[in-house]
Amino acid sequence: MAKITLDNLAHSYLAQPHEEADFALKALNHDWEDGAAYALLGASGCGKSTLLNIISGLLRPSQGRILFDGRDVTDAPTAERNIAQVFQFPVVYDTMTVRDNLAFPLRNRGRDEAYVMERVNEIARMIGMEEMLNRKARGLTADAKQKISLGRGMVRKDVNALLFDEPLTVIDPHMKWELRTQLKKLHHDFGHTMIYVTHDQTEALTFADKVVVMYDGRVVQIGTPEELFARPAHTFVGYFIGSPGMNVIPARVEGNRAYVEGTELPLGQGYGRLEGKVEIGVRPEFVRLSQSGGLPVKVRRVEDVGRHKIVRAEFFGHEINIIAGEDERIAAEATRVTFDPAHVNVYANDWRVNGEAA
Ligand code: ADP
Ligand code: MG
């Protein structure tokens, strides 16, 4: 296991990049702590696989260095990095049995056969394939083949890190939950450094100690699920995490007051006078409907999602979402909203501004 350091790392698929937009991965400095479970979360095309492939050595970065426990591995081939990587689609040997597929990484490293069989049986149990060990991989469903790929990724205990690139894409929804639980257990039992790539916030938030959020080639925030919820560092993190995501509202901010369409709102902290594109962000959980006081809204729709209600309302021509209690009656005369000042974040040009005690 190892700490992985990214030192001023960046990547462009172009031979001669000229501007920032030419970089699929913008310059990045980060330490992946030894033994932590990370999720790398972001929309399709934001650079997740690019970053993962640089860490595993499938791709050489056009700028910067990668260090494993302080040793520069930027030019070391994949095999030397001692990493297990599982891809989105199955990579299995069709002519081999399930058993031989699972055993492959261990035999390849010259482990003795008794150990190999013990470990293969353990993994087969984890991925629910004990009954299929004698079957040839050829002819199995994509789902079963992907489980073999996962098993192969998990079979070695002596790897520096385990990298998963959207590994559950072809797995059916029930099995997804089961396999994710097994991955967490694996992490708990062996403490490998794990990086799990996904575009699914639920998957990221349930799997990881720390979530690395990417947007347009850039890491915009690294934090615990709680930090991403309470203090999104970028408006994208606010939108992308949460269901529904954070409401982002254009505002003017002066000191500990925000002004939305001329109405004054108290803020929990002070900000001086902000320039540029200024917005406030408030999660639907911290918006309250009221009958008097606050900003005017028109309720458009109420969705009952079981544990609570999502109220979709219109607010100065924009949609605003409100989470209301399961038993809360949404009165037709509820035509105003208030925000909990302690949970209002302030953004300038999409980045969160740290306030000062007001
Ligand atoms: P993600 O895994 O988050 O979906 P990728 O890392 O695959 O994103 O891609 C990031 C960006 O780099 C995208 O704009 C994609 O089109 C581009 N890209 C990915 N692979 C290549 C490649 N081999 N050659 C050129 N551009 C690529
Ligand atoms: Mg990808």
- Give, as one character, the DSSP assignment of residue 136: B
Domain check: are 78 and 191 in the same one?
Answer: yes
Q: Residue 32 pairs with which residues in a beta bridge?
A: 4
What lines the ligand 1 site, CB under 6 Å? 13, 24, 42, 44-50
Domain check: are 212 and 326 in the same one?
Answer: no
Average pLDDT over residues 103-121: 96
Closest CA to 68 of 79, 81, 78, 58: 81
pTM of the model: 0.93
Residue 267 has pLDDT above 70, yes or no: yes
Identify how many contiguous H helices and E strands the chain contains and give both numbers.
9, 25
**What is the chain's length?**
358
Lowest pLDDT segment from 10-19, 147-156, 183-192: 183-192
Question: How far is CA 159 from each of CA 35, 58, 80, 167, 192, rounded to the nearest angstrom?
Answer: 11, 16, 11, 18, 8
**Are 34 and 67 a contacting pair, CB within 8 Å?**
no
Average pLDDT over residues 221-234: 96
Q: What is the pLDDT of residue 204?
A: 93
Domain check: are 77 and 190 in the same one?
Answer: yes
Shortest-distance Cα residue to atom 7 of ligand 1 = 49
Domain check: are 128 and 271 in the same one?
Answer: no
The residue from 184, 205, 240 where one domain ends is 240
Domain check: are 143 and 106 in the same one?
Answer: yes
Average pLDDT over residues 322-350: 90
Q: Which amino acid is at 348?
A: A
Domain check: are 190 and 157 in the same one?
Answer: yes
Nearest atom within ligand 1 for CA of residue 43: 3
- Give, as one character, the DSSP assignment of residue 97: B
Shortest-distance Cα residue to atom 27 of ligand 1 = 13
Residue 261 has pLDDT above 70, yes or no: yes
What CATH number does the domain containing 153 carry?
Answer: 3.40.50.300
Task: Convert the pLDDT of each residue in 46-100 to its tens digit.
Answer: 999 999 999 999 999 999 999 999 999 999 999 899 999 999 999 999 999 999 9
The residue from 240, 265, 291 where one domain ends is 240
The residue from 240, 265, 288 where one domain ends is 240
Nearest atom within ligand 1 for CA of residue 199: 3
Domain check: are 314 and 232 in the same one?
Answer: no
Domain check: are 269 and 148 in the same one?
Answer: no
Phi first, then psi, for residue 108 (nearest 5°) are: -60, -30
Q: Which stretches of the chain are DSSP H helices?
A: 48-56, 78-81, 98-108, 113-126, 142-154, 173-190, 201-207, 225-230, 235-240
Distance CA 50, CA 10 (A): 10
Rounded to the nearest angstrom, the distance between the alpha carbon of 219 and the centre of ligand 2 is 15
Q: What is the pLDDT of residue 358?
A: 65
Domain check: are 61 and 161 in the same one?
Answer: yes
Give the chain's domain count: 2
Instruction: Provide the mean pLDDT of the chain.
Output: 93
Structural domain for 148, as ranges: 4-240
Nearest atom within ligand 1 for CA of residue 44: 4
Domain check: are 213 and 309 in the same one?
Answer: no
> Could you report how far apart the first and last alpha carbons of the chain are, in Å?
45
Q: Residue 298 pairs with which residues in a beta bridge?
A: 314
Average pLDDT over residues 21-39: 96
**Are 308 and 326 a contacting pair, CB within 8 Å?**
yes
CA dihedral 127, 211, 340, 292 (to 10 degrees): -60
Question: How far is CA 287 from each of CA 57, 85, 103, 334, rounded to the nearest angstrom?
Answer: 46, 43, 54, 13
Domain check: are 132 and 234 in the same one?
Answer: yes
